[in-house]
Amino acid sequence: MIEQLGDSKDIALRRFYALERKLIKNPTLRAQYIEFLDEYQRLGHMELIEDQDLSSVGYYLPHHPIIKETSLTTKLRVVFDASCKTTTGISLNDVLMVGPTLQQDLLDIIFRFRSWQYVITADVEKMYRQVRIDQSQTQYQRILWQTNTEEEVKAFELKTVTYGTASASFLAIRALQEIAHIESSNFPLGAATVLSDFYVDDLLTGTNDLARAIMLRDEVIATLAKGGFKLRKWASNCAELLQNLPDSVSSEPILTLDKSEHLSTLGLQWHSVNDTLQYEVKQLTLSSTVTKRAILSSVARIFDPLGLLGPVIITAKILIQKLWLLKVDWDETVPLEIQTKWRTYEAQLGLLNTLRINRKVIAHSSPYTIEMHGFCDASIEAYGAVVYIRTTSVDGHTEVRLLCAKSRVAPAKTVTLPRLELCAAHLLAQLTHRISQSLGVKFDGIYHWSDSMITLGWIRADAKRWNTFVSNRVGQIQELTDASSWKHVNTKENPADAISRGITPSQLTQSSLWWNGPQWLNDETVIWDADSSIAPILEDLPEARKSALIATNNCQEWSIFYAISSANRLIRTMAYILRFAGNTRKAKQERRIDSLTAQELNQATIRLAKIVQDNAFATEMKALRKGHPLPRNSKFIGLSPFIDNNGVIRVGGRLSHSKLPYSTKHPIVLPSKHNFTKMLIVSEHQRLLHAGPQSTLASLRQRFWPIAGRSAVRQVTRSCIRCFRAAPISRPPIMGNLPTPRVSPARPFVHCGIDYCGPFMVRESRRRNSKHSKAYAAVFICLSCKAIHIELIFDLSTESFLNAFKRFISRRGKPSDIYTDNGTNFVGAARELKELRQSFLNEVRRDGVSDFSAQSGITWHFIPPQSPHFGGLWEAAVKAMKFHLKRVAGTASLLCDELQTILTQIEAVLNSRPLIPLSNNPNDHTYLSPAHFLIGDHFMGVPEPTLLNTKENRLSRWQRIEQIKQHFWKRWSVDYLNELQQRTKWKINAPSLKPGDLVIVREDNTPPLCWPLARIETVYPGLDGVVRTATVRTTRGIYKRPATRLCPLPLDNENLLVNN
């Protein structure tokens, strides 16, 4: 990755000159900047590079100042920008690895910080700059600097870990921890503290024993001294811990716990003398307009890792969510309602400066019991959790203190309140689990409180009882906590109610419920534990999984319907079965052995229909036999069915008073998808000499009434091979994706298509009786920008086309790829060009020119035979050219030069046709045309006024022209390509052709019954996997044909019956 870095010196030099101009305007800032970098050089943290060392590859870091007024040591810091891109678009931070997180989260460190009796803090002096970089890597940490503006700018190399590089934090922390690992045997307590209680370069540690705290302090100092790290800005809540320390004790008793270098609106601080936590709210300049950008900027600068101000901060988060839902622009004035709420909220933030919170949450030095109590609640706008530590002394005195809180804004998508309550409980379970893991205190009890009986019922039951959303969260809650620890609390006594709804800063400062929890927590455990033991009724809870009982009917159907493929044969087989059954019950002389009678065939048909109905209409058959009404969802409830004397369901209908035969008035009902029904339809279709669906259905309904009969008859007739042969139907595949030359920017006519049109009659001279001859037009079209070039040709020979092709190359440049149909002139031209190029290559090789093999020739592509839709682009160009030519010339006989002139003018008109508008401005009527890619404007356009006196933003004239061309291609890529996205036809993909399929080949100028049958041998799928061309074998030979000319015969398994 490091090899991808380009040149960075030029941009670093430009930014240095900009910095220098800024420093000249501010002498005080310049003096501090020079002092900072002089100290950098004096301490050996950077050194001047000699001229001979500048030749090596390196990276130059731009730098700039940052002022931090809250700093107790250095107000100004120089920050080095390792994210500055080089000429290759890659920066140093892009190629550096960030490294894993080595230290614990700040929240875990603050949890422990609030649990100790004696605490002490310090800061590592210049921590990053105490870690030296290997000499081979310092070339990637170069800077440009000069103290005197009259001197030449010099290059320096930074020798230590540099703030601003992606790996700086990892390298410094890793070095700090490596010292701890090395010295763990000599200073076990100090080494363990370095590994667990450091956040970047800040130490926040402590113990519950003063003597141990002093030993811890001394061991930490000794451990870090081994690596050259010096601690400073010491602070403690105990004066004895600050004795015998160097003169680096902090003179400021307030420690800011925010490590951000940026300006904070609200930050958490620790007052070491009073041993309290407090917040510093900085007064912001109220702007005249309130925008989403201003609100979000202020909220993002709030630093409250413990969530002690959660009820106030959630109010701002809710306002931000409303702004997002309203889709207000960044710099648009927010609605008046939100603006009023924000003004009130912002004005009261200053009240938070008066808050003083005990740092130590374990109130007693030697507590008898320590308990953790967590409360959760939710509203339609937000949900949250708050945790308290309850300590009881030996003499029975109880004290409750707020440890931390966490809140979430409710999802924008509507979620039921019980689900939000469950999300709050899930958040509380995660929070208490994290506290118990990081605090290092053994709790005598951990209790979770919620005012939602539904949530408590969900948690106390098996997670598998509930739906997915509830089940997942309940399972995690039961894994993190003990289900018996969840108890019910009254809503009015739930302190988490404030964090779920939000309150103002004035209300927060006066809320005893928030800071100390409910009053009953100070009572004995037995009292409030008994009051909270309310068991919810599980049967009344929502989100329970629904169980369904599915009954199946395993009735087996008679296989005779699938063993015999003809309706007549099936009926005769059934008739013989019935005769055999009847003969077995008769005397030998009474048995029948002659031919089947019409009555026997009719009885066999009725018996087959009854077997089918018993299997397909079991529910209806049962209802009709018992005299019950049919189900509402029955398929033939509108037919008024009844059961006749033979036990067969027939249509009741409305024709009972007509003089039609009984079987016509009351036909037998049959299911549409049964094989017996299909065989009857096929038999009737063939008896009527392959009549259409209407006639076949009308004849079939003389005896049978198939449900959804029209659809069933159409399915059979469409699958009939004889009917298909008379009117074959092809299955065009889905319209293919545009090829790469159509969607890739390229020089005009690099990829072009060619087609002929004509003939046109031209006169040889102006004489009255001059002879007429034929002429043709060769149309060249660019595949990417649709530019057109027209050449006049006087015959269809290969030589004439080659001459026209040479004229085209001379005017438009040599193309790399040509796409045409299979015309003999195109095939001959491609062959001759290939032979000419091959002979030239052989001659060049004989001359010994080795590099000519790198040059590429012209690649000729032919579309499949008889498939003009493969060349739709040039076919459309020919159509457009003929459109203008017929209206201009009509049937007139023109001279050659006259026809050439008209064709050239048509070419200009077609190249000036609009592709897309050049802008979205309704007053701008200019458009992008193919001519813009040829000459920069449309051919028929009026000349634009000169732009010589127009300011061009430091661009040369050539650069300006190039920028215009790039603008054309950008509009082509962004807008024109999007217009090609939609498929105008062939939108549904038909089943793809496969080798071995039997097809009918569509031929021109012959009737369908004479079209040949063919077998597919090879298919040619496109890049999208769809087959659009295939090679077929007929009795006359092998041909290559498009899929639109191949009509697959309907020979699938479902229609084998029809084939027979």
**Given a cut of 90, is residue 891 above it in pLDDT?**
no
Give the per-residue pLDDT at 16. Answer: 94
Q: Name the residue with higher pLDDT: 973 or 750.
A: 750
**Given a cut of 80, is residue 964 above it in pLDDT?**
no
CA separation for the pair 46, 402 (Å, rounded)? 48
CA separation for the pair 234, 211 (Å, rounded)? 18
Give me the sheet containing 1046-1048, strands edge to edge: 1037-1042, 1027-1034, 1013-1021, 998-1001, 1046-1048
Q: What is the mean pLDDT of residues 53-68?
A: 82
Q: What percentage of residues in the chain have a pLDDT greater than 90? A: 36
Give the per-residue pLDDT at 975. Answer: 56
Question: 325-339 pLDDT, tens per residue?
Answer: 888 888 888 888 888
Q: What percentage of residues in the chain have a pLDDT greater than 70? A: 84
Lowest average pLDDT, out of 159-168, 299-308, 478-487, goes to 299-308
Contact of 335 with 327, CB cutoff 8 Å: no
Give the per-residue pLDDT at 53. Answer: 59
Give the per-residue pLDDT at 948. Answer: 35
For 372, 447, 805, the CA distances from 534, given in Å and listed in that order, are 21, 15, 94
**Given a cut of 90, is residue 161 above it in pLDDT?**
yes
For 508, 516, 1016, the CA distances from 520, given in Å and listed in that order, are 20, 11, 87
668: tokens are 């037998």
Q: What is the mean pLDDT of residues 975-1002?
A: 74
**Given a cut of 70, is residue 953 above it in pLDDT?**
no
Q: What is the mean pLDDT of residues 937-948?
A: 41
Q: What is the mean pLDDT of residues 763-785?
A: 84
Q: Name the residue with higher pLDDT: 474 or 1004.
A: 474
**Given a cut of 80, is residue 968 above it in pLDDT?**
no
CA separation for the pair 833, 754 (Å, rounded)? 16
Q: What is the mean pLDDT of residues 919-931?
A: 62
Question: 289-318 pLDDT, tens per residue?
Answer: 888 888 888 887 788 889 999 999 999 999
Give the per-residue pLDDT at 263. Answer: 39
Question: 650-677 pLDDT, tens per residue?
Answer: 988 888 888 888 888 899 999 988 999 9
**Given a cut of 80, is residue 950 above it in pLDDT?**
no
**Given a cut of 80, is residue 983 above it in pLDDT?**
no
**Given a cut of 80, is residue 209 above it in pLDDT?**
yes
**Given a cut of 50, is residue 131 above it in pLDDT?**
yes
CB neighbour list of residue 416: distance below 8 Å, 6 or more residues apart? none
Alpha helices in 926-972 (DSSP H): 957-971
**Given a cut of 90, is residue 859 above it in pLDDT?**
no
Give the strand pairing for 254-256 and 231-236.
Answer: unpaired
Sign of the C-alpha dihedral, residues 464, 465, 467, 472? negative
Give the per-residue pLDDT at 844. Answer: 36
Give the per-residue pLDDT at 254. Answer: 64
Residue 970 — very low, low, confident or very high, per pLDDT cuts 50/70/90? Answer: low
| Mean pLDDT computed over every residue of the chain | 83
CA separation for the pair 583, 224 (Å, rounded)? 113
Give the strand pairing for 649-650 and 642-643.
Answer: antiparallel
Question: 505-556 pLDDT, tens per residue?
Answer: 999 999 999 999 999 888 877 666 655 556 666 677 888 887 665 555 555 5
**Given a cut of 70, is residue 962 above it in pLDDT?**
no
Lowest average pLDDT, out of 45-59, 160-174, 790-804, 948-962, goes to 948-962
Question: 665-713 pLDDT, tens per residue?
Answer: 899 999 988 999 999 999 999 998 998 899 999 999 899 989 988 999 9
Give the per-residue pLDDT at 978. Answer: 59
Cis peptide before 759 (omega within 30 of 0): yes
Q: Name the residue with higher pLDDT: 808 or 956.
A: 808
Lowest average pLDDT, out of 583-592, 662-671, 822-831, goes to 822-831
For 14, 27, 149, the CA distances from 153, given in Å and listed in that order, are 12, 19, 8
Q: Name the residue with higher pLDDT: 92 or 1044.
A: 92
Contact of 298 with 265, CB cutoff 8 Å: yes
Residue 219 — very low, low, confident or very high, per pLDDT cuts 50/70/90? Answer: very high
Contact of 453 with 536, CB cutoff 8 Å: yes
Q: What is the mean pLDDT of residues 62-74?
A: 74
In sequence order, what E strands does 257-360 have? Answer: 266-271, 276-281, 357-358
**Given a cut of 60, is residue 1058 above it in pLDDT?**
no
Q: What is the mean pLDDT of residues 199-228?
A: 92
Give the per-residue pLDDT at 841. Answer: 42
Give the per-residue pLDDT at 904. Answer: 87
**Given a cut of 90, is residue 615 above it in pLDDT?**
no
Residue 70 — very low, low, confident or very high, per pLDDT cuts 50/70/90? Answer: low
Lowest average pLDDT, out of 222-226, 367-371, 712-716, 768-772, goes to 768-772
**Given a cut of 50, is residue 946 above it in pLDDT?**
no
CA separation for the pair 757, 791 (Å, rounded)? 11
Give the per-residue pLDDT at 1055. Answer: 44
Give the per-residue pLDDT at 529. Answer: 63
CA separation for the pair 105, 437 (Å, rounded)? 13
Residue 940 — very low, low, confident or very high, per pLDDT cuts 50/70/90? Answer: very low
For 173, 434, 541, the CA distances from 459, given in Å and listed in that order, are 42, 19, 11
Give the per-residue pLDDT at 592. Answer: 85
Residue 918 — very low, low, confident or very high, per pLDDT cuts 50/70/90? Answer: low
Contact of 494 with 476, CB cutoff 8 Å: no
Lowest average pLDDT, out of 77-91, 438-452, 760-774, goes to 760-774
CA separation for the pair 56, 377 (Å, rounded)? 63
**Given a cut of 90, is residue 632 above it in pLDDT?**
no
**Given a cut of 60, is residue 744 above it in pLDDT?**
yes
Give the per-residue pLDDT at 967. Answer: 53
Residue 846 — very low, low, confident or very high, per pLDDT cuts 50/70/90? Answer: very low
CA separation for the pair 94, 140 (Å, rounded)? 13
Give the per-residue pLDDT at 866. Answer: 77
Give the per-residue pLDDT at 265. Answer: 45
**Given a cut of 70, is residue 1054 above it in pLDDT?**
no
Lowest average pLDDT, out of 59-63, 438-442, 656-660, 955-959, goes to 955-959
Q: What is the mean pLDDT of residues 775-788?
A: 89
CB neighbour list of residue 14: distance below 8 Å, 6 or more residues apart? none
**Given a cut of 50, is residue 261 above it in pLDDT?**
no
- Map out the domains of the chain with their CATH numbers: 2-242 (no CATH), 252-357 (no CATH), 360-527 (3.30.420.10), 605-726 (1.10.340.70), 740-844+862-916+929-976 (3.30.420.10), 997-1048 (2.30.30)
